[in-house]
Amino acid sequence: MSQFPTSEPVEAIVAHLAEALDWIDIGIVLLNRNLHVQFINQRFAEILAWPPGGLAKDTSFRMLLEHTAANVQFGVPAGELPAYLDQREAAVRAPAASSAEIDLRDGRRFLLRSSPCDDGGRILTYCDITPLKHEQDALNEVREAAERTIVEQRFSAETLEDQAEYLVSLAETADENARQAAAANERLEHEIAERQQLEAELRRLVTTDTLTGTLSRAHFLSLAENAFERARQFNQELAVLMLDIDYFKHINDSFGHFVGDEVLKHFVAQLRTGMRSNDLLGRLGGEEFAVVLEATDPQTGLLVGERLRTRVADAPLVYGDRTIGVTVSIGLATACDDDQTIAQTLARADAMLYAAKSNGRNQVCAEVATAAPPCADARRDQQRNLSSARA
């Protein structure tokens, strides 16, 4: 594997990002679709006084709420606490993004924002707006002091001149309050914009392969499972392709890992020219990729696979004064009634990929169900089917 940061697996990049997130001053929590905690950063642990030792595997968002209620304590009366916890959990569980101000008993205030992810999970951010709360309290004190002054002056004023001075003082106080409120609002909008930018970058890193721009392994498998369920629900056909670049280790050994990275990016660019915009393309690891084709029958899947194979083979990478030929082996399988998950369909496509590798590479091998016999059993018939697919 490449030692350059751009070719590290997405798991390593996420680990680096998690380490970096411990240094920012915003609490971050990642929840899966069942609202179980997958990650918290150091700042969030400090906010909740979370004990050392990490998270239990089954820690839920409700358990975080109950821990907060028992330790740092929410700023609500004890009799209202159960309903308050239900309200907070419901807001995070809702499919739409939401935000709320959270007051703690020790006087701190946090702006909580819940953002949904494509896979059903949630990204929660806790931004400390206690200074803004103090400013608002100070504004209220100024306002109350001004009102007391007004009352006192109203009763002590004996001349029209006193009344005029009172009106001027009131106007100045109102202007100053307005200026302070506008400044506080501007600071809050800036903090919200920075937080939204961080959330978008975090979501991109979690769902996208950094080097090739394809879907990451975890995000691809999640979206592929959704496509599989749609196909079953609407009684539609679904085809999957497993793709592996031929002799990729030889390319790395001969030209270096940096050129290997360029080959991967060039390879993905060729695949995209032969796919629909709604087809799913993911990098499963190294030089192995997968494609999910919704509403696609076996014969059409075979045609698509052959089209992708041809485009890769016909477009070598020109790198400086070098021309590097690239070919790909492809395994095809279609979802059947016996499949309970997309993983079973992918496993059969992977077996066909192994057959393509064993039978000489640079070819598409499909299940018998696709009217294309397995490569390992019938090489001659396979070549005839491939010739038909190219036509």
Q: State which CATH number among 3.20.20.100, 1.20.1050.140, 3.90.550.10, 3.30.450.20 fits the domain covering 5-128.
A: 3.30.450.20
pLDDT in tens, the chain (391 residues): 444 455 666 566 666 776 778 788 898 998 999 889 888 888 888 887 777 666 777 888 898 888 888 887 788 898 998 999 999 989 999 888 899 998 888 889 989 999 999 888 899 999 989 888 788 778 888 888 777 777 677 766 666 676 778 778 888 887 888 888 787 778 777 767 677 666 655 665 678 999 999 999 999 999 999 999 999 999 999 999 999 999 999 999 999 999 999 999 999 999 999 999 999 999 999 999 999 999 999 999 999 999 999 999 999 999 999 999 999 999 999 999 999 999 999 999 999 999 999 999 999 999 864 444 344 333 334 443 443 333 2
What whole-number distance in Å separates Cα of residue 344 and Cα of residue 326? Answer: 29
- How many CB atoms neighbour CB 61 within 10 A? 21
Other CB atoms within a 10 A radius of the CB of residue 185 amount to 11
Domain boundaries, the chain: 5-128, 133-182, 217-390
- The dihedral region occupied by 295, where left means phi > 0, alpha psi between -120 and 50, and beta the remainder, is left
Question: How is residue 274 annotated by DSSP?
Answer: T
Nearest to 183 by CA among 130, 113, 135, 111: 135
DSSP character at residue 368:
G
- Domain 217-390's class? alpha beta
Q: Which of 126, 135, 132 is nearest to 24 (CA)?
A: 126
pLDDT at 292: 98
Q: What gap in Å lies between CA 384 and CA 387, rounded to an integer?
A: 5
Q: What are the DSSP calls for 22-90, one per residue?
A: TTSSEEEEEE-TT-BEEEE-HHHHHHHTPPSS---TT-BHHHHHHHHHHTT-BSS-GGGHHHHHHHHHH
C-alpha 9: how far from chain center: 16
pTM above 0.85, yes or no: no
